[in-house]
Structure 1
Amino acid sequence: MRANKVGMLAAGHAGVDVYQGAVPALVPFLVAERGYGYVAVSGVVLAATLLSSVVQPVFGALADRWRMPWLIPASMVTAGLGVALSGVTDSYALTWLAVALSGLGVAAYHPESARLARIASAGSHVRMSWFSLGGTLGFASAPVLVTPLLAVGGLGASPWLVVPGVVGALVTLPVILALSGRGAARGAAAEASGRDDWASFARLTLVIVFRSVVYVGLSAFVALYAGGGAAGAVALFVLFGGGAVGTVLGGRLAARWGRVRAMRAAYAASVPAVAGVVLAPGPLMYVFVAAAAITLYAPFSLHVTLGQDYLPRRVGTAGGVTLGLAVSAGGLASPLVGWVAETASLRVALGCLALVAIPAWLLSRTLAEPSRPAVTSEP
């Protein structure tokens, strides 16, 4: 039963995170059909990423104050509605507002859903990794869903993009109802027992920021480094596929070694893995792309549960920061990676990402495994 509930929450997670990947997939169509320049489309992408990352901790604080399970399906539909409306108007301002609405929906979803996933997983790192995997797969599948649809129907077909959000809400609704009763009350009591460790949480947040800079930099430029075209598409496929493998592997390693030890090992391995992307000759590069993705995503679900255990009285805030603000920092740093690529070379820029992975590893070594209260959702 627990596995089924986490699986349904993971499906819902995929249904909302598809909209994080959908906005970049819209960019070529906004350029082709509306003639938007780089500045204009950058503003559209920023409307989703920046608003989502900034507002997400706010929703986390609200989730700590009030239980709002109804917000999960409402936010999923809102995220889908925003992207759906982005293609039905020629007004740049309205398009920007529609994409911002989608970002708001994504922001509202994560803190409350992470809280319920914590209750449904009942302390299992493996189950929590499956919840995180849902989001990873949703993000990765966005281009596959968006590009063929808009290639056939143009931006006028964008209303169909509301479907994943609606389906995700319907799939998740029974689990939300089941976890919002007595089990949720017991989970809330467990959350309230414990002492918030803000110093450890701050160091964990910095770890996530450095990790995000590395991964977002790779995802933005590895296709170009591979040569573009089919070779670039293969590089992205390997990167996203490796991320999915790493998400599940991280949960299993944490169950065997503990979360902090697993995280340290992953970040230690990420340094040579990322360096290998630019140092390995020929097709061997793809092996290191896969290794980089696996090592950078193995700690992903562990970040969430560690953050919640460092802040047991504020698990909503912890979820909002670990899933939102800290992760989005990589997107804010990507222009700097692009500047290095333009002034030096793309090889140098990607090589610098290996150096950025080092402080993530060093900071992870300062963290200790927190005591974890038992969290249950059913007898």
Structure 2
Amino acid sequence: MSTASLAPSVARPVMPVLAALSVAHLLNDTLQSMIPAIYPLVKDVYHLDFAQVGLITLAFQVTSSILQPLLGYVTDRRPWPHAMVAGMGATLAGILGLSFATSYGTVLVSAALVGLGSAVFHPEATRMARHAAAGRQGLAQGVFQIGGHVGYSLGPLLAAAVVVPNGQASLSWFSGVALVAMALMAWTVSLYVNSHREHVPTGEKPGEAPQALMPAGRVALAMAVLIVLLISKNAYQASFTSFYTFYLIERFGVSVQVSQLMLFAFLLVGAVGVILGGMLGDRIGRDRIIWISILGALPFTLILPHADLFWTGVLSLLASFIMASAFSAILIYAIDLVPHRVGLVGGLFYGLSFGLGGLAAGGLGLLADRIGIVDVFRLCAWLPAIGLLTFLLPRRA
């Protein structure tokens, strides 16, 4: 038996561990989402163009991208659950740095520190959620990820309510959230270690796991396709997290607060999609969910740039809901291909794909400076069409 699931005698996933991981994910991603949420404020304070705004996203996500696969690979060999607490310490330093930054360079360094916190958190948390699943991998990843999606959606709301009216220094008020997250992560690790010890059968080593059953070439092809699919999803989402507020302000003349609320709604609806996608994937198969979640959004993304304000809001929610359901299915599909490399896969899919999404944000910023933010959204509407690559995936349950 593998540590990828608990003993067969366990009838249900270890919900206390999953719930604690979900709340820790919520707090972690709430702080991370404060970065794009304050872009309009930072752009005005430091007189930035769109390319420089995109570079802030790049600094955050590339730091995470470079380190997450490496940390995942290392912790596959030597798990270190308490690393999550240290990672949140880096996030805390980044939030304080953003609060009191006096230059654009300091903003970039602080964003990179928040990215470091993300790099440390996700591989170990993914492994812990996998172990606590008791075979219900879609449900477990959905519970874990819904915390991240809710947290990421709270950032714009909190920025609109607190940071925009009170200024950049008010970000320091959220340092208490980081301290609470560090305490919760320490408690979660203790709970997980005790639960995991109870359910690892006698004679089984914690690092043991089944090897992939497919030929190495097919595994490599499938992993490459999954990464490209996730990059297309993340690139489209990056266009929203980085530039949706600017798009709404330029095209419809809404206030910063209204644009932040619409970004909050876009991100929050994704939280519902991610857990439903995970649960349905347990029932009807990961490949079907990938088809539905990526290509199903294409009609809505193509219509969105031509809609009025009301329908822009409606279509963005539909696209967010459908596309968010892909992540659990893609991640579990990839872990099932190489179940002995949970940390590495978690690092690749949270790190590499999100980092390349950050690179896309930088490119979109450069493009927006040349052709305008409205035309950028028209081009991004075609990104879900990359979902056609799903044809190349082998059929799995």
TM-score, with structure 2 as normaliser: 0.82
Change in 2 beyond 3 A, CA 1:183/1:212: farther
Match of 1:133 in 2: 146
Shift of 1:146: 4.1
Is 1:170 the counterpart of 2:183? The answer is yes
1:214 and 2:269 correspond = no
Shift >6 Å, 4+ stretches: none
Measure, in 1, the Cα distance between the counterparts of 2:340 and 2:355: 24
**After superposition, where does 1:112-191 map in structure 2 within 5 Å?**
112-124=124-136, 125-151=138-164, 154-180=167-193, 181-182=196-197
The answer to whether structure 1 residue 368 and structure 2 residue 394 are counterparts is: yes
Which structure 2 residues correspond to residues 251-266 of structure 1 after superposition, within 5 A? Answer: 251-266=278-293
- Structure 2: gaps spanning 5 or more residues: 1-12
SS at match of 2:352: helix
8 Å contact 1:198–1:310 — kept in the other structure? no
Q: Which amino acid aligns with 1:182?
A: R
Alignment of 1:258-277 (within 5 A): 258-277=285-304
Pairing 1:310–2:337 present: yes
The one-letter amino acid of 1:209's match is I
**Superposition pairs of residues 347-366 of structure 1, within 5 angstroms:** 347-359=374-386, 361-366=387-392
Q: Which residue number corresponds to residue 194 of structure 1? A: 211
Report how far residue 314 of structure 1 moved: 1.2
| Distance apart, 1:330 and its partner CA | 2.0
Distance 1:188 1:104, change over 3 A: farther
The Cα of 1:8 is off from its aligned counterpart by: 1.1
Please list, as runs of the form range in 1=range in 2, the aligned pairs for 1:102-113 lying within 5 A after superposition.
102-113=114-125
Query: C-alpha displacement at 1:221, in angstroms?
Result: 3.7
Q: Quickly say closer, same or farther: Cα 1:266–1:97, change in 2 above 3 A.
A: closer
Q: Write the letter of the residue equivalent to 2:197.
A: R
Report if aligned partners of 1:198, 1:311 keep a CA contact under 8 Å in 2.
Answer: no
| Pairing partner for 1:249 from 250, 271, 276 | 276
List per-residue Cα deviations over 1:107-148 (Å, max 9, x = no partner): 111101110011112232123112111111111111333454
**Aligned residue type for 2:328:** S
Secondary structure of 1:121's aligned partner: coil
**AA partner of residue 203 (structure 1):** V
Task: Report the CA distance shift for 1:152/1:333 in structure 2 as closer, same or farther (over 3 A).
Answer: closer
Return closer, same or farther for 1:153/1:232 CA change in 2, 3 Å cut-off: closer
Q: Distance in 1 between matches of 2:159 and 2:367?
A: 31
Of the three residues 319, 323, 326, the one matched with 1:296 is: 323
| 1:166-196: CA deviation from partner (whole Å, max 9, x where unpaired) | 2123223333223224258569758621227
1:76 aligns with 2:93: no
Cα shift at 1:300:
1.4
Question: Does residue 48 in structure 1 map to residue 60 in structure 2?
Answer: yes
Aligned to 1:374: none
Question: Letter of the aligned partner of 1:193 in structure 2?
Answer: P
Partner of 1:2: 14
Number of the residue aligned with 1:376: none
Does structure 2 conserve the Cα–Cα contact (< 8 Å) formed by 1:278 and 1:285? yes
**RMSD of aligned alpha carbons:** 2.8
CA shift for structure 1 position 349: 2.9
CA deviation map 1:11-69 (0-9, x unaligned): 00111112321122344454555x45347655544332221122111111111121101
Query: Could you tell me which amino acid in structure 2 is paired with residue 239 of structure 1?
Result: F
Between the aligned partners of 2:167 and 2:86, the Cα distance in structure 1 is 27
Percent identity (aligned): 25
Q: How far apart, CA to CA, are the structure 1 residues paired with 2:170 and 2:367?
A: 38
Q: Using the alignment, how far apart are the partners of 1:342 and 1:10 within structure 2? A: 38
**C-alpha deviations, 1:306-358, integer Å up to 9, x for none?**
22212212111100111121123222113444455555565543232232211
CA distance in 2, matches of 1:369, 1:190: 28
CA contact (8 A) 1:110 1:323 kept: yes
Higher relative contact order structure (alpha carbons within 8 Å, sequence separation ≥ 6): 2
Distance 1:25 1:233, change over 3 A: closer
Q: Distance in 2 between matches of 1:27 and 1:344?
A: 20
Q: Which ranges of structure 1 fall in alignment gaps of 5 or more residues? A: 372-379
